[in-house]
Amino acid sequence: MESRREEEITPVDILLQLVTMGKVDPWNIDIVDLTEKYIERLREMKELDLRVSARAILAASILVRMK
């Protein structure tokens, strides 16, 4: 049985992990494009989950800090 945390891994979590491991260069990530796609996805969701938004904001701030 997977832990609760493993079930909640998002694409942003994976992206952050790849940046941290040095497999993705944060200088080559288009944060504006990622943000626009995220906002579009939020609008498509029928029920907003603030935890998802908070994780995305945290991930974006970490990416900006790494740049």
CA angle 55, 23, 33 (to 5 degrees): 50
Give the pLDDT band of residue 6 (cuts 50, 70, 90).
Answer: very low
What is the spatial distance between Cα 47 and Cα 45, in angstroms, rounded to a whole number? 6
**What pLDDT score does 20 carry?**
85
Helix ranges, the chain (H): 4-7, 11-20, 31-44, 50-66
pLDDT digits (tens, 9 = 90+) for 10-52: 767 777 777 888 877 878 877 777 777 777 776 776 666 777 7
The closest of 5, 3, 1 to 51, measured between CA atoms, is: 5
pTM of the model: 0.44
**What pLDDT score does 54 carry?**
79
**What pLDDT score does 56 carry?**
76
**What pLDDT score does 46 carry?**
65
